[in-house]
């Protein structure tokens, strides 16, 4: 397949996932006694989706060079938002966590956009350092020290997410940064030093917030006795098991009726399992695998700069990994963590960030010689 055909296939797969998301959000939002409130969820999701698609189209039409120039500014804007969200009276606090801006009925979570700006900034920073090092004929050790300094701003941004507190997202962002650094061929000794430097922060976060350890302990205990698992996990497994092979039918699930928590957001995959069965869950998994394979083949086919290629692959990996983590939590393969299913869960910051990510992948995979129209 040509690059254009691969790009069209990638967009088509994304459209299928978005269509499944609209169906499942509406189905998961239906209560025992359907009312006008159920229509509100669908209307809001459609509004979020329309805005997200418009932003994704704009991102996809931008030239790849735009992301190279805008990388430091987008990263700085994300850092500023993460600082502002921690300011009392500015950020919105829910259950002891201050992670959102609230504008009426609409909320914005800055950490979602860090998943896009961190890969861009890491690629831009290392590319800039290596160009300067080549001109000044620096040794590998000197260049490595420069590259270590370059990731300090990234560590600071992840630290801001940790302060919110949001250990799960901070760990995910650390993984995104690590994957990007690996793709940029960061020296192994730099990984070792950065790991030793960040280890105290990870241990401190676990010690000062015992509920994180309790969550992990509950997850481990759940593997020995399902009754010892958390309520969310128990209901999620019950919901998946109720679907069997073929499911009970779209819109006919019962677990979403006040039994399964966050049915239209974090645990929407469980609703897929109940209503569409094992066939539906495997089909959704297959769509994500196809998207990953198509995207990676696309970047292997086209000839772009190292920054564009690495940033595009890193953003694709984080998008697919986020879906994988969500499915792992729902199936009790990972500790409970409030992470939405990209393109499927009820709209908001995650939906907007996910569709923009797709636009960025399309843009970054397009060589300078290829016009957006093609």
Q: Is residue 218 part of a domain?
A: yes
Question: Under a CB-based contact definition with an 8 Å cutoff, are residues 292 and 320 in contact?
Answer: yes
Q: What is the side-by-side strand order in the sheet with 106-108?
A: 92-94, 97-103, 106-108
Q: What is the pLDDT of residue 117?
A: 96
Q: What is the pLDDT of residue 204?
A: 67
Which range marks the domain in which residue 147 is found? 3-364
Q: Is residue 372 part of a domain?
A: no
Q: What is the pLDDT of residue 32?
A: 47
Collect the ranges in the chain with pLDDT lower than 50.
32-33
3-state secondary structure of 91: strand
The residue assigned the tokens 């049915």 is: 263
Q: How many domains does the chain have?
A: 1
Distance CA 326, CA 98 (A): 22
Cross-strand partners of 88: 91
Q: Where are the alpha helices (DSSP H) in the chain?
A: 3-29, 36-61, 64-84, 111-136, 140-150, 152-163, 167-183, 188-208, 210-224, 231-243, 268-301, 306-330, 349-364
Here the tokens at position 24 are 């499942």
Q: Is residue 279 part of a domain?
A: yes
User: What is the phi/psi pair of residue 108, to 5°?
Assistant: -130, 125
Question: Under a CB-based contact definition with an 8 Å cutoff, are residues 55 and 356 in contact?
Answer: yes
Digit-coded pLDDT (tens) for 5-48: 899 999 999 999 999 998 888 888 776 445 555 556 778 888 89
Q: Is residue 142 part of a domain?
A: yes
Here the tokens at position 326 are 């969500």
Residue 306: how many other CB atoms lie within 10 Å: 14
DSSP state of 213: H
- Enter the pTM of the model: 0.89
Residues ≥6 apart with Cβ < 8 Å to 157: 75, 78, 79, 82, 114, 118, 173
Digit-coded pLDDT (tens) for 122-139: 999 998 888 888 777 777
User: What is the phi/psi pair of residue 175, to 5°?
Assistant: -65, -40
Kindly state the helix (H) or strand (E) to which residue 97 belongs, with its residue range: strand 97-103
Q: Is residue 371 part of a domain?
A: no
Q: Is residue 27 part of a domain?
A: yes
Sequential DSSP letters for 8-51 = HHHHHHHHHHHHHHHHHHHHHH--SS--HHHHHHHHHHHHHHHH
Distance CA 161, CA 86 (A): 9
Q: Is residue 370 part of a domain?
A: no
Q: Is residue 369 part of a domain?
A: no
Distance CA 63, CA 372 (A): 8
Digit-coded pLDDT (tens) for 204-244: 666 666 666 666 666 676 677 777 677 788 888 888 888 88
């Amino acid at each position: 397949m040509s690059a254009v055909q691969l790009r069209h296939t990638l967009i088509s797969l994304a459209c299928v996932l978005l269509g499944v998301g609209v169906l499942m959000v509406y189905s998961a939002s239906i209560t025992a006694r359907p009312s006008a409130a159920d229509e509100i969820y669908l209307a809001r999701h459609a509004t979020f989706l329309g805005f997200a698609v418009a932003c994704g189209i704009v991102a996809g039409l931008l030239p790849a060079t735009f992301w190279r120039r805008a990388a430091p500014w987008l990263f700085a804007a994300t850092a500023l938002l993460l600082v502002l969200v921690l300011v009392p009276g500015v950020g919105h606090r829910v259950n002891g966590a201050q992670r959102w801006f609230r504008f009426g009925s609409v909320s914005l979570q800055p950490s979602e956009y860090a998943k896009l700006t961190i890969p861009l900034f890491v690629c831009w920073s290392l590319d800039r350092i290596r160009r300067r090092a080549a001109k000044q004929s620096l040794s590998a050790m000197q260049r490595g020290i420069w590259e270590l300094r370059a990731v300090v701003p990234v560590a600071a941004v992840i630290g801001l997410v940790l302060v919110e507190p949001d250990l799960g997202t901070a760990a995910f962002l650390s993984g995104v940064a690590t994957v990007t650094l690996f793709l940029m061929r960061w020296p192994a000794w730099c990984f070792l030093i950065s790991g030793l430097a960040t280890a105290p922060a990870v241990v401190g976060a676990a010690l000062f917030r015992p509920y994180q350890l309790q969550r992990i302990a509950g997850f481990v205990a759940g593997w020995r006795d399902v009754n010892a698992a958390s309520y969310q996990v128990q209901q999620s497994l019950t919901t998946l098991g109720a679907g069997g092979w073929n499911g009970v039918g779209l819109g006919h699930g019962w677990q979403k009726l006040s039994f399964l928590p966050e049915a239209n957001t974090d645990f929407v995959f469980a609703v897929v399992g109940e209503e569409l069965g094992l066939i539906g869950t495997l089909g959704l998994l297959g769509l994500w695998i196809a998207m990953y394979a198509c995207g990676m083949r696309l970047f292997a086919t086209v000839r772009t700069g190292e920054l564009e290629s690495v940033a595009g692959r890193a953003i694709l990996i984080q998008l697919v990994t986020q879906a994988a983590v969500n499915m792992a939590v729902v199936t009790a393969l990972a500790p409970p963590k409030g992470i939405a299913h990209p393109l499927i869960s009820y709209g908001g910051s995650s939906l907007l960030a996910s569709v923009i990510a797709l636009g960025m992948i399309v843009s970054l995979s397009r060589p300078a010689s290829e016009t957006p129209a093609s």
